[in-house]
Every structure is written in structure tokens, then in C-alpha cells.
Chain A
Amino acid sequence: MKTDSSIEELFEAAKRHEKDQQRQQRLSDMIDQWATSSSEARGGDNERRKSLWVPLSVAASILLMVSIGLRALLPQAPSDGGALVAEVGSDTAATKEGQLPAESKPNVEKQHPATTRPTRENRLLAEIPAEETTRPNVQSDEADTIPQQEMAETLLAQNDDPETRTATMDETKVYERTSNRLIGKSNRAANNGRSDDTQAPLMAFTSTGTSATYDLAKINF
């Protein structure tokens, strides 16, 4: 190794090199301190995160329990608009039939279809073929179209014991309208000089509120 340096330059270089080594050692110690302080700062952050985690988890658990409780107490919200319409319709029909509306009890079947046992009515309905359950009630529609005269005659024919029969309000009205028409007809015939055999008691029955006891035998048609 050859150099043109003087011995003084060698000493200067050696001193400089040693000082650089000392400075580097000082800086290395400082870096260790910075690393320690930064790791402690991160540790402090972790401690703060841990201290925050416990109350946050407790609050989340409370919120979860409250939401579960509210879902159990409140009626179940429909999943879509169609389900809402169908459910409202079924509730209305049930109310008409004198049953409790569906709002008074939670729809447990929809929430847990696999675990809920079907009721006896549901089992019976399931056994009935679909044709029977979906067949429209034709009789009620036809009853509305039966002429009043025909209905009156039918009811009269079905009356086994006219002395004691108690008619319903609807039947009473039908008979009342029919008898009034017959009485009017009889009066018009009497006024026209026809036979008097139709002038038997005009008021053959009396109405007493919701039902009426009448004596059809006294009516002279």
C-alpha cells in the first residue's frame, strides 16, 4: 500500500477516522433510543387501543341484545311490499271470521319455519286438496240473485211448524216485503170490486225488534 501522504496527514486521517467512529457510535446509541421511544409510543397506542376495546365490545354487546329484544317485541317487518300486502289481507280476513288478528301474535312460522310445529288447522288444511280450498263460494253469489218471490216461497215451504217458527231478521224483512206486496195486491183488487175472500187480516204478523213471531196461517193469500 503506497501513499504520498506525510506522517502528519496519516495522523490527521487516523484521528478523523477515530472521531467518525465515535460519532457513529453516538448516533447508533441515539438511534437505539429513538427506536425504543417509538416502540414505547406504539406500545402506548396498543395499550390505549386495548383499553378502548373493552368498553366498545361491551357497548356493542348491549346494542346487540337490545336489538334482539326489540325484534322479539315489535311485529316483524315484512321483507318486501308484496309480503306486506298478503299479510294485511290475511289479517283482514281472519278478523272478519271473528278470529284474533295476526298483529296480536308474532309470525313465528316465518321466523323459524323449520322448528315451528304446524297447528292442527294447518295440518288439516294441508290434507285438503288444493281444488277444494280454492273453489269459489258459488252458493253465496247465487243466493244474492234469487228473486225475492222465489225466496219467500222457498222459505214458506221449508217452514215445518209455522206456529212456533222464529225467523231471523233477514227472513222477516223478506216476508214483510212479500206480504206487503200481496196485501197491496189484495187491496187493489178489493177496490176494483173483486172477491172479498182476500181481505182476511191484513196485519198477520208483528215485528218485535230483531226477530218476529208471525202466524203464516192467518195470512190469506
Chain B
Amino acid sequence: MTTDSFKKNILPLQSHMQLLAERMLGDVADAEDAVQEVFVHLWEQREKLDKVVNLRSYVMQSTRTRCIDTIRQRRKSSNIDDMQDIPTDDQVAEEVELVERRSAMLHNMLDDLPEKQRTVVRMRYLEEREVTQIEKSLNMSSANVYTTLSRALQTLRDKLKKNEP
């Protein structure tokens, strides 16, 4: 498998692997480490990946095995049978799809906001910046930032209610 083919076929599965690892390990950082280790393993085995029929299943099982090893390292007496909530590949795929759908929905609603509100909301809730940083970056007062955020959230909630059944 070439580098371009690896990026095209394996890299998009990163979100699935990350979500599975987070569900199994319960920690974002540990999940990131596990996914990166799986990627290293897949890269080393890339010559054999062309022969894999179901690439997504192979990648997800590799991630699952990696997470199980991490759990065993954490707790020496850990029994794999005790892990009740290991999501299946389809469950992970559904959840990833839901995340992507919600994200797309939010970005669509943000696009309808005035530019100033959109910028403040993006910096505060997506980039998770502090209000003081936003004040300095946009040369706004603290009260003006909070007011802009309040109005933007209200508009988004109204739009969200209109979309609900």
C-alpha cells in the first residue's frame, strides 16, 4: 500500500479509532496514544494491507486489541470478560457519523450568524479560549463579549428548536 493509499484509506478511520479507544480506555490522552501506536503498527504492515478484504474491520480490531493490552498493563488482574461496554464497529461508526452530522449542523447554523457573533462563539466554545483572551484579540470589552455570546446562543437555540420534530 502506497503512502497516498494509506492516507486515503486508513487516515479517515482515525476518528473511529479515537472514539473506540476513548470508550474503552475512558481517557482522551490514553486513547490518542493507543491510536498512534496502532497507526505505527499499520504503517509497518502496510505492504500486507492490500490483501485485507475489510480494511475498516481490520483497523478497528487492531485498535481494540491495542486498547485491551493497555487495560491489561494498567490492571494486571484485569479480565477481558469483565469489559462489558466494548462498542462494536457499527456502534462506533454510528457514533462517529452522529458527531460529524452534529458538527456539520452547528457549522451551518454558525454560518447564519452575524460575523462578530460567529467569531466570538467559535473562539469561546470551539477553540475554548478565555473571555479575557477574546477581549484582547477582538479589542472588545468583557461585557460586550458576554452580551455577544448570549445573543448568539439564543439564536442557535431558536434555530435548533425549529429543526426538532
Binding site for B on A (CB under 8 A): 1-7, 9-18, 20, 23-24, 27-28, 30-32, 34-35
Q: By the criterion CB–CB under 8 Å, are B14 and A11 in contact?
A: no
**Residues from chain B with Cβ under 8 Å of A28 in the complex:** 7, 11
**Residues from chain A with Cβ under 8 Å of B7 in the complex:** 28, 31
Contact with A along B79-120 (1 / 0, CB 8 A): 000000000000000000011111111111100000000000
**Residues from chain B with Cβ under 8 Å of A24 in the complex:** 11-12, 14-15
Q: By the criterion CB–CB under 8 Å, are B18 and A20 in contact?
A: yes
Seed contacts A2-B164, A17-B100, A23-B35; 14 additional CB < 8 Å A-B pairs:
A1-B101, A1-B163, A2-B163, A3-B101, A3-B160, A11-B126, A15-B125, A15-B128, A20-B14, A20-B99, A24-B14, A24-B15, A31-B6, A31-B11
**Residues from chain A with Cβ under 8 Å of B128 in the complex:** 15
From known contacts A14-B106, A20-B18, A24-B14, infer whether A3 and B126 are also in contact, taking CB-CB under 8 Å.
no
**Residues from chain B with Cβ under 8 Å of A13 in the complex:** 98-103, 106
Contact with A along B28-59 (1 / 0, CB 8 A): 00001001100100010000000000000000
Binding site for A on B (CB under 8 A): 3, 6-7, 11-12, 14-15, 18, 32, 35-36, 39, 43, 98-109, 125-126, 128, 153, 156-157, 160, 163-165
- Cα–Cα, bound, A9→B163 (Å): 15
Q: Which of A10, A31, A34 contacts B102 (CB 8 A)?
A: A10
A114 to chain B, nearest CB (A): 54
- Cα–Cα, bound, A9→B100 (Å): 12
29 A–B pairs (Cβ distance < 8 Å), ordered by A: A1-B104, A2-B163, A3-B105, A3-B163, A3-B164, A5-B105, A6-B160, A7-B156, A7-B157, A9-B102, A10-B102, A10-B160, A13-B102, A14-B103, A14-B126, A15-B125, A15-B126, A17-B100, A18-B126, A20-B18, A23-B14, A23-B18, A23-B32, A24-B12, A24-B14, A27-B14, A31-B3, A31-B11, A32-B3
